[in-house]
Structure 1
Amino acid sequence: MLASTLIRRPAMTFSKPGRWILSGLLFALLTACASTPSPDESLERLFGMGPIEQFTISSATLGRDFHVYVRLPQDYQARACDWPVVYLLDGGILFPMLSPYQLMLEIDEQAPPVVMVGISYGGLGYANGNLRSTDYTAPAPEPEYYGGAFAYQDFLAEELLPEIEGKFRVDADRSLVVGQSLGGQFTLLTALTRPELFSAYLSINPALHRNLDYFIELEPAEAASAVPLMITRSSEEMASLSQPLADWLAAWQTRGSDHLALELEWLEGHYHASSAPEAYRRAMAWWTAAGEACPP
């Protein structure tokens, strides 16, 4: 019988740089094998914001895309009814801020469940496609890029609102639109010129500093009844923004028009950009049309 022969191979050795390369290859392999969550899955993990659905709408009116985020009530699938709906301008900021806050208000019974719709540009600043300074504004002597609000109203009326009302069970007669700063200018302008688009309006620190005269001279459109509008003003607002709003309010109250069912809220200790949660909380308490229960 022949004795078996054990062949011993020399162990592989690596230089220090070689060990780094091998470690990098192993890490890349493990990373490639790991499960990477999709954007939808990542949003689901932020459970306080959802459930969320999202889609992109290509506007034929404006020739641009908008990214739309929709937060549904927790019991949306269990209750076959039409829900109150809140539309958020500047949705890229206000939607992630207010959607979990809405849940907290529901827990404390300070707000009814609603469908919340955030309309986002997808980026911050003009270079990133954010044309809020055009879309949210009435005409002004300057800057020249002001004055696109009426086209944006057409986009809402002809494209976005029908899309939301077709995809989701919402009650168009219980709709609130929320705008802040220039968005607040838009909600004020729309309450005056196209009040049928929404059933109620929230204008947070509306910025009228570049086109105050336009608003003072504006004749409101006809409305079937007084248009519910809440305007919130922050005590720490800069004078360059607070004074034009005060001037418009004085002129409006002197006019004595019954076009608006105007509610004014003073936000003590709040600032121009950071007051949205408190303004929203007060608006939800004021917006009684949304308080009707959705039956199980």
Structure 2
Amino acid sequence: MPSSQPSPARGRGSKAAWIRAALGALLAATFGLAQAYAIHDDAGQVTHFDAPPARIVSLLPSLTETVCALGACERLVGVDRYANWPQPVQRLPKVGGGLDPSVEAVVALRPDVVLMDSSARAAAARLRALGLKVVALQPRTLADLRRVTERLGELLRQPQAADALLRRIDAGVQAAAQSVPATARGQRVYFEVDAAPHAAGRGTFIDELLTALGLDNVVDAAMGPYPKINPEWVVRADPDLIMISRQGAAELARRPGWAQMRALRQGHVCAFDAAQRDILVRPGPRMAEAAQLMADCAAHRPPAEK
């Protein structure tokens, strides 16, 4: 009858294998699940896990932030070039962009799973072909944010942490909405995402936050989620309020016709610094902070000091 313990005759290799197996079982027990499980991602792929991943590479800042918000920051071993929050991820190896990661650098980190945007199909296929597990998720709307957070909770075996995080986000967005005075509601807002310029259109999480705060997005639904905008179109739309990066705000008055727009004449332009912009454009765990930044802008209050 075979023994459940390695005998000296089996050699050091067998003993090492037994130790690795024991450590794997201990990790699974620590996270409360010793059985295998499967994760269904937004690319239609099903990935099987024998234990919660202990080494994670994340190629999308919002996913990186969510992993950390769920209490698993120490499991990250690599991130994309744009990841910069929370502070511990700044020390991690950077493996390129979300759409064009360095496959060699990712493989060298020996991840148990790679998290990435589901639109990065080519990169995901290359990583899977090399035997890596990939979970592709795509947070684009507030509903997506909820689903992605829950999915990451399942992956990390932290479902209660995911539920608690979502409750905090919901409460924070509601508090931000309540802080907008009645006189500030109904303002027509132009939210510029980048200097191309691209705007946040209808149906995006940015548009949904504006709506939750009682504000109106000037971008028409037919223009798509993040349309490239003709600056003359914005002049004709004549928004009451402009939300834009600090870099973009510096040259607004030089755009033809913009100096005469009511938002510029009345000083109703909110110029967000780089750190604030990251909060605003990433559909992740800092969504309540994004809502409060927008609410303070709508009420013409300066951002709260940190």
TM-score (norm 1): 0.33
Larger Rg: 1
**Of Structure 1 and Structure 2, which has the larger fraction of its residues in helix?**
2
TM-score (norm 2): 0.32
**Of Structure 1 and Structure 2, which has the larger fraction of its residues in strand?**
1
